[in-house]
Amino acid sequence: MSDIPGEIMPHGVVFDMDGTLLDTEGLASRAWPIAARAIGVEFDVSLIGSMVGRNSRDCSVLISDRHGVQFPVDALMTAMRSAFEELMAREGVAVMPGAVELLEWLAAARVPMAVATSTRRERAEVKLGEAGLLRHFHGVTGGDEVARGKPAPDIYRLAAQRLGVEPARCLAVEDSEPGYDAAVAAGMPVVFVPDQAEPSARLLAARPRIFATLADVHRWLASLPRGAWT
């Protein structure tokens, strides 16, 4: 079980972004079929769930594997980004319930925070800035900065390194199974806050610590004693 050693406050917290801090996964789900229509292709929307939490390179591979090497993957990815940006510009960047309060509480407690997201770093910083959250973080690590995306551990290891905290003394906060697997592989305890999909039987078998919202994560962390993890 990826629980916290001794149930003590972490030395650092590393957050996923989309679906964890920002309510953007629903926009992404709507953007894929819009993009497919824009370039005139059929797209298997059942792929969308498997792409959550993954970087653009891995999403491209999943699409190519499903639709074949002749499928215009690059054109679809470009159209998807355009459709997503249009939706976000029209509807705004929504913050997940409890996110602001949790980040402010951690900042007051002097717990350093970072973001490990499959989104490109530059774009992630813009989104977090537009949502008013960027100021809370000591660093943002993007999917374009690592050789392997989630579920590989690379992004969480790099985020912890930049934070200056050992992975085992960090807490990861995730909404996707690839992200959960990445944090565990990096040696981080994880809390799982589902967004678009319920945890799979495979994930439940790992006995993760699951919370309904970030407000629940906040209440749990606030109940923990302060001190060094051992």
Active-site residue, selected from the candidate residues 16, 58, 175, 181: 16
Residue with tokens 């970030």: 214
Cis before 72 (ω within 30): no
Would you say 192 and 16 are in contact if contact means Cβ atoms under 8 Å apart? no
* Known active-site residue 154: no
Would you say 137 and 127 are in contact if contact means Cβ atoms under 8 Å apart? no
Contacts of 93 (CB under 8 A, 6+ apart): 22, 24, 127, 130, 131
- Written as one letter, the residue type at 111 is V
* Known active-site residue 58: no
Active-site residue, selected from the candidate residues 3, 18, 65, 216: 18
d(CA 56, CA 50) in angstroms, rounded, equals 12
Would you say 39 and 75 are in contact if contact means Cβ atoms under 8 Å apart? yes
**Known catalytic residues?**
16, 18
